[in-house]
Amino acid sequence: MRNTFSEALYQEATKNPDIYIVVADISPAGSMSKFSSQYPERFINVGVAEQSMIGICAGLALKGCQPFAYTIATFSLYRPFEMVRDDLGYQNLPVTVVGMGAGIIYSTLGGTHHTMEDIAIAGAIPNMQIVAPCDPAECTEATRWCARQKNGPVYLRIGKAGEPDLTRSAEPWRFGKLRYLRRGEDVCILSYGVITKMAMDLADRLASQGKSVSVVSAHTVKPLDREGIIEALQRHRQVIVIEEHVPQGGLAPQTKQIAWDIKAPCRLDTFTLQDSFIHNYGGHNDLLAAHGLSLERIAAAIA
């Protein structure tokens, strides 16, 4: 995903001289070398100084530029939180804060590098928009949109590398709208970000059992497509939310709230990370499984 982010941003930068990227001692891989060599004056590395990364982006945006802040998600959002809130949110500036490797992708680096509560934290800031693409192609769409929007700040939650393509046969990407990656009649799985792959695998399994399954990329987590969620809750007899985020403040509780508001007739199951830090190690899937997020566990729970 970070490669497609870099490529998409580079393409946008060739067309728009106001696009800047301010990174904190971490380089978006691949195409970013093209950006930094071709536009060195618009590629700023602040070093290990995330507060100034956000503040510099704010200053650029106050002068009409379209900046991106980029580093590992914990350091792009948590470390400079008050700058994100005051400089970007309060002033409502069109700065994209890229949270790379969000969720628990950095599985062996420990809890300091796990981004488990970013949706709740970013989403609580007025004016903040949140986009979390599910695969590299969707990341390209999201990046392009971020480079052109003037609504206000965006938290762009992306993965790292090697994510599979999930959106080849999906409908077009539109900011603020649920995106059906496949459409079915019985079950609807709502997800966003890298873990959408698990939703697709679950759909395959349910389909092999004769069920007709929808899979939705809820890529725009804020503002959430409330009408789209209502439609999903009304059109399917079972809705499942799979989310790589703590139980508070993410897609799962918001979906439950909407379901309650409209007295949704469907069954609704939500699967999230737990409200606890992770002290064990292994691959990404090992850590997800430690919090109950595995195909087997979810399939058993919804049977």
Partner 1 sequence: MSGTNAMATRSNRFDLGSARERCRRFRRRILDISQQVSALHIGSAYSCTEIVDCIYFALMRRNSDGGSPDTFLMSKGHGCMIQYVILEELGILSRAELDAYCTPEGKLGVHPDYGNPGIAAATGSLGHGLSMVCGMALAERGRKTGGTIYTVLSDGEVQEGSTWEATMMASSLRLGNIVAFMDNNDFQSLGRTSETHPSFYPVVEKFRAFGWEAVEVDGHDSRALFEAVTGRDGDKPLMVVAKTTKGKGVSYMENVPIWHYRSPNKDEYQQALRELEAAR
Binding of partner 1 by 176 (CB under 8 A): no
Q: Which of residues 14-33 bind partner 1 (CB under 8 A)?
A: 17, 20
Query: Residue 163, interface with partner 1 (CB under 8 A)?
Result: no
For partner 1, the closer of residues 125 and 215 by Cβ is: 125
CA 263/CA 279 separation, integer angstroms: 39
Phi, psi for residue 271 in degrees, rounded to 5: -130, 120
Strand pairing category for 129-131 and 220-222: antiparallel
Q: With binding defined as CB under 8 A, does residue 83 bind partner 1?
A: yes
- Contact call for residue 82 and partner 1 (CB under 8 A): yes
Task: Determine, following the binding rule CB under 8 A, whether residue 9 of this chain makes contact with partner 1.
Answer: no
For residues 49 and 47, what is the distance between their CA atoms, to the nearest angstrom? 5
Residue 91 in contact with partner 1, rule: CB under 8 A: yes
Cα 243 from chain centre: 10
Distance CA 168, CA 170 (A): 6
Q: What distance lies between CA 202 and its chain's CA centroid? A: 20
State yes or no: residue 296 binds partner 1 (CB under 8 A). no
Q: How far is the CB of 89 from partner 1 (least distance, A)?
A: 10
Q: Is 98 in the site for partner 1 (CB under 8 A)?
A: no
> Could you give the angle at the alpha carbon of 271 between the alpha carbons of 303 and 266, nearest 5°?
55
For the CB of residue 75, give the shortest distance to partner 1 in the complex, in Å. 13
Tell me the window of 85-93, 162-170, 239-247, 272-280 that interacts with partner 1 (CB under 8 A). Answer: 85-93
Q: What is the largest CA-CA distance in the chain?
A: 57
Task: Give yes or no for residue 65 binding partner 1 (CB under 8 A).
Answer: yes
Tokens of 43: 């590629």
The two tokens of residue 99 are: 């949270």
Q: Which is nearer to partner 1, 63 or 263 (CB)?
A: 63
Whole-number Å distance between alpha carbons of 119 and 250: 6
CB atoms within 10 A of CB 114: 23
Of 19 and 134, CB closest to partner 1? 19
3-state secondary structure of 11: helix
Q: Which of 284, 285, 293 is nearest to 107 (CA)?
A: 284
> Is the CB of 56 or the CB of 130 nearer to partner 1?
56
Closer CB to partner 1, residue 58 or residue 130?
Answer: 58
Cβ closest to partner 1, residue 38 vs residue 276: 38
Q: How far is the CB of 16 from partner 1 (least distance, A)?
A: 12
Residues 37-56 that bind partner 1 (CB under 8 A): 41-42, 44, 46-47, 49, 51-52, 54-56
Is the Cβ of residue 88 or residue 116 nearer to partner 1 in the bound state?
A: 88
Q: H-helix or E-strand containing 37? A: helix 32-38
Question: Which position has the token pair 């919090």?
Answer: 291
Residue with smaller CB distance to partner 1, 48 or 124 = 48
Interacting residue ranges for partner 1, rule: CB under 8 A? 17, 20, 41-42, 44, 46-47, 49, 51-52, 54-65, 67, 82-83, 86-87, 90-91
